[in-house]
Structure 1
Amino acid sequence: MMKNRFIFSLPVILLAFLFSINLEAQNYFDNFPVKADPKLVGNNLCKRLLETKHQLYFDKGIHYAEVCTWYGALRFAEQTVNKDMIKKLRARFELLFEIEKELLPPPVHVDQNMFGCLPLRFYSITKDKRYLDLGLPYADSQWTLPKNANEEEQKWNKKGYSWQTRLWIDDMYMITIVQSEAYKATGDVKYINRAAKEMVLYLDELQHDNGLFFHAPDVPYYWGRGDGWMAVGMTELLASLPDNDSNRARIMKGYQLMMKNLKKYVNTDGLWNQLIDQPDFWTETSGSAMFAYAMIIGVKNGWLNNEEYAPIARRAWLGLCNYLDSNNDITEVCVGTGKKNSKEYYLKRPRIAGDYHGQAPILWCAYALLEK
C-alpha cells in the first residue's frame, strides 16, 4: 500500500518541480537588491533629470540626448502611475511653449527632428492638442523635402525614404521613435509604415552576418553606443508595428540576429565593451544599457527565449546599477563620438558621469523591467 502511494505521488512531485522551475523563470526580472530596485532607480534618475539644466546644441535647441532622457522619465512615470512626476515633467516642458520657445530644435536634421517624440508622448497622456500640434510637424517634416534639398536628399525622397536618410546607425532610433509616437498619437499607419520601410533599408545595407553594425562603412569597428541605437530602434519599432505589417518579419530577423550575437560578447561585468568585440577595451555603460533594454523588451514580448536571454538581461541590469554613483549619475559613458578609422581613437575616448546618453537608457531599462 505504501509503495502504491509513493508511485502515485511521483507525477505530483514532478509537476511541482516543473512548476517551481517555471516560477523561477518568471522571476528573473523580480526580487532585485535595493540598490537595483527598478522603481527606486527610476525615481532617482527622474529627480536627477529635473534638477539638471538643459543640454543644448551650441547654446541653442535642446539636444537629442536630453530628449531621450526626458522621454524615458515620462515613460517611467507612466509605468509607475506617478502623477506627481508626470506633472513635474510637464511643468519643465510647458516653458517651451512660451518662455523657452527659442530652445525648440528646428526640424532640419534627423537628430533634431526626434524631439517630436516628446510632445507626442505628452499628447498621448494628456490629450492636450497643443502637444500634438507641436510634435506632429517633427514627424511630417522628415518626409517633406525642403526647397534647399541637395542631390542626395532628393534621391532618397524620390525612392520613398526620408530625405534625412544618411545610413548612419543612430538614425534608426532618431527616425523610428518620432514616427512610432506619431503613429500612436494619431492612429495613422503611414507613420509606422514609413519607419518600417526605413529600418529595412538600413538593415539590408548595414547589418553584417554577425548581426552587428560598423560605426560607419569606412570605419570597421563595432562601437557600443552606435550599435545600441540600432538595437533600441528595432525594439521600439517592433513594439509598435502591427503583426501583419509586411516588413515585420525582416525587422524581427535583424533584431534576433543581433541579440543572438550580442550574447557572445558579454564581459566580466555582465555588460559590453566600448568596442563590442574587443575584450581588452573598457566597459561602456550607455551602449550596454541599450542592449539590456532591447533584451528585456524582447523577453517580455516573447521575441527572445526567456531562459536564454532573461538571465543575461538581469545580470546586465545589476551590472549597470553598480555604475551608478551617489549623485544618481551613471558613470563610464563615452562622450559624443564621431567616426574615425582608428582603434586607438575609440580606446582613448573620454568617459564621463551623468551624461544624458547614459541616463536615458538606464531609465528605459527601469520602466521596461516594471512592465507586465
Structure 2
Amino acid sequence: MKRVRKQACEEAASRIVSWMLKGQPGDWGMDIDSWDWNPGVGIIAILEYYECSQKPEVLSDLIKWTERNRHQSDKHKVINSMAPFTIYPRLYELTGNPYYLNKAIEIGDWMLKEAPKTREGAFEHTVTEPEAFSEQVWADTIFMAVLFLARLARVTANNKYGEEALVQLRLHFKLLQDEKTGVLFHGWDCGRSNHMSAARWGRANAWIALATPMILQDLRGMLNVPELLMERYLRLLRGLKTYQSDNGLWPVVVDRPDYRCEVSGSVGIACSFIKAANQGWVDAEYRAAANLTLEQLLDSIDDNGHVGGVSGGTPVLPSEEAYDAFEIRSTQYGQGLALFLLTEYLNS
C-alpha cells in the first residue's frame, strides 16, 4: 500500500512540475516568468523536488528560469520579492557560478541594512504592488524572506544572516501567535497594536509552520535555537492539529469549521507536520494527520497537474468572512505548496 501511494506521489509531483513550468503568460496566478513571491514559492518548491528526484532536467529548468528573469530582480526591492532569491545559495553550490553567491550576498546585506522594519524590529511586509502596509507584520514574510537569510547563512557560514533570521522568527511568533490557541493571526499592526481583522488564516499558519523547520535545518550547527522559539513552534503545531477537519484539510480560517476547506494552507501545514516528525519533535499522530491531508491532495490534482481548491493571493482582509468568500484560482504558490508535501512524503 505504501509503495502504491509513493508511486502516486511521484506521478503527481512530476505532473505538477510540468504544469508549473509550462505556466500561463499574462495570468498572475500561473505566470512563472515574473519576479515576485508567487513564482518564488513555486521555484523554491521545484528546487526541493530536484533535491529529491535528482533529475538533471529539473535543475536545468531552474537555471534557465534565473537566466530568463534575473533582469527583473532589481525592479522591486521589497520583502515579498525576496522569495525567488531563496534558490540562489543552493544554485551557487550546485553550479559554482559566482553570480548566484554575489547576488545573494548583495540582497542579504540589503535586507540587514536597508529593508524597512517596524518599531519592534520585524521586517515590514512590503509588496511589489502600489500598496503600503506601514508598520504591518505579516506571517508570509518568514517564508518569503527569512528562509532566504537562513540559506545564505549556511552557504556563506556568516552568522549575521542566521542571527537575523532567528530574530525575525522570534519577533513574528511573539507578535502573531494567539496565546490562547497557539495558532497564528495573519498580521499585526504595530502602530495600532492590534491584529487587524484578527483572522487565524490557514495559509498564514502554513507559511511559518513550514518555513520554521527549514530555517532551523539550515542553521543547525551554526547557532543555538532559543528554547522559547521551539516552545512557540510546538505550541503552533499542537494548536493546528486540533483544528484539522475530519477530511484531513483545514478551514480557510483554521478555527472556523463552518468555513470551506482550503488546499494550499492545508498541504503546507501537513508538510510541516512531517518535517517536525522527521526531526523527532512530534509523535506519530502528526504523521498520521498529514497522511489524511495527502489523500485529499491526491484527489485535488487533475491529469494535467493542476492543483484545485486554492484561494487567491490574500492580503490581510478586513474580516474573517472575507477570507471565506475569497476567489479560488490556479497559482504557482498553490502548486508549490502541494509539491512540498509530495516531496516531503517521497523523502520520508
Structure 1 length as normaliser, TM-score? 0.81
The aligned residue for residue 51 of structure 2 is 78
The aligned residue for residue 80 of structure 2 is 111
Q: 1:86 to 1:193 in 2, by over 3 A?
A: same
The aligned residue for residue 250 of structure 1 is 228
Q: 1:248 to 1:329 in 2, by over 3 A?
A: farther
- Look up the SS of the partner of 2:252 in the other structure: coil
Residue 180 of structure 1 deviates from its aligned partner by 1.5
Contact 1:116 1:136 in 2 (8 A): no
Q: Take 1:107 and 1:188, find their aligned partners in 2: how far apart are those partners?
A: 26
Matched, 1:202 2:165: no
Q: Take 1:236 and 1:188, find their aligned partners in 2: how far apart are those partners?
A: 18
Q: 1:154 to 1:215 in 2, by over 3 A?
A: closer
- Look up the SS of the partner of 2:137 in the other structure: coil
Contact 2:123 2:141 in 1 (8 A): no
Unaligned runs of 5+ in 1: 1-26
Where does 1:243-322 land on structure 2 (aligned, <5 Å)? Answer: 245-305=223-283, 307-322=284-299
Q: 1:339 to 1:140 in 2, by over 3 A?
A: same
The one-letter amino acid paired with 2:13 is G
Q: Take 1:163 and 1:221, find their aligned partners in 2: how far apart are those partners?
A: 19
Contact 1:105 1:112 in 2 (8 A): no
Instruction: State the aligned residue count.
Output: 328
Residue 95 of structure 1 deviates from its aligned partner by 2.2
The aligned residue for residue 5 of structure 1 is none
Structure 2 length as normaliser, TM-score? 0.86
Q: Take 1:309 and 1:63, find their aligned partners in 2: how far apart are those partners?
A: 32
Q: 1:200 to 1:277 in 2, by over 3 A?
A: same
Q: 1:337 aligns with which of 314, 326, 339?
A: 314
The one-letter amino acid paired with 1:81 is Q
User: Higher relative contact order by CA 8 Å / sep ≥ 6: 1 or 2?
Assistant: 2
Q: 1:176 to 1:137 in 2, by over 3 A?
A: same
The aligned residue for residue 210 of structure 2 is 232
Q: 1:123 aligns with which of 84, 92, 104?
A: 92
Q: 1:192 aligns with which of 159, 162, 179?
A: 162
Contact 2:88 2:100 in 1 (8 A): yes
Contact 2:150 2:215 in 1 (8 A): yes
Matched, 1:324 2:301: yes
Contact 1:221 1:275 in 2 (8 A): yes
Matched, 1:37 2:15: no
The aligned residue for residue 371 of structure 1 is 347
Q: Deviations over 1:154-184 (max 9, x none)?
A: 856xx6x657684211112122211012122
Q: Take 1:294 and 1:163, find their aligned partners in 2: how far apart are those partners?
A: 25
Aligned-CA RMSD value: 2.5
The one-letter amino acid paired with 1:266 is Q
Contact 1:238 1:251 in 2 (8 A): no
Q: Deviations over 1:287-321 (max 9, x none)?
A: 0011011011111111111x221111111111111
Contact 2:124 2:137 in 1 (8 A): no
The one-letter amino acid paired with 1:368 is E
Residue 270 of structure 1 deviates from its aligned partner by 0.6
Q: 1:180 to 1:262 in 2, by over 3 A?
A: same
Contact 2:300 2:307 in 1 (8 A): yes
The aligned residue for residue 190 of structure 2 is none
Contact 1:286 1:358 in 2 (8 A): yes
- Look up the SS of the partner of 1:167 in the other structure: strand
Q: Take 1:154 and 1:171, find their aligned partners in 2: how far apart are those partners?
A: 13
Q: 1:107 to 1:242 in 2, by over 3 A?
A: farther
Q: 1:317 to 1:154 in 2, by over 3 A?
A: closer
The aligned residue for residue 150 of structure 2 is 180
Q: 2:139 aligns with which of 158, 169, 173?
A: 169
Contact 1:333 1:357 in 2 (8 A): no
Contact 1:106 1:112 in 2 (8 A): no
Q: Take 1:93 and 1:31, find their aligned partners in 2: how far apart are those partners?
A: 35
Residue 276 of structure 1 deviates from its aligned partner by 0.6
Identity %: 20
Matched, 1:360 2:336: yes
Q: 1:32 to 1:188 in 2, by over 3 A?
A: farther
Q: Take 1:163 and 1:215, find their aligned partners in 2: how far apart are those partners?
A: 14
Unaligned runs of 5+ in 2: 126-134, 188-194
- Look up the SS of the partner of 2:281 in the other structure: coil
- Look up the SS of the partner of 1:334 in the other structure: coil
Please say which of residues 112-121 and 264-273 is displaced more in the overlay.
112-121
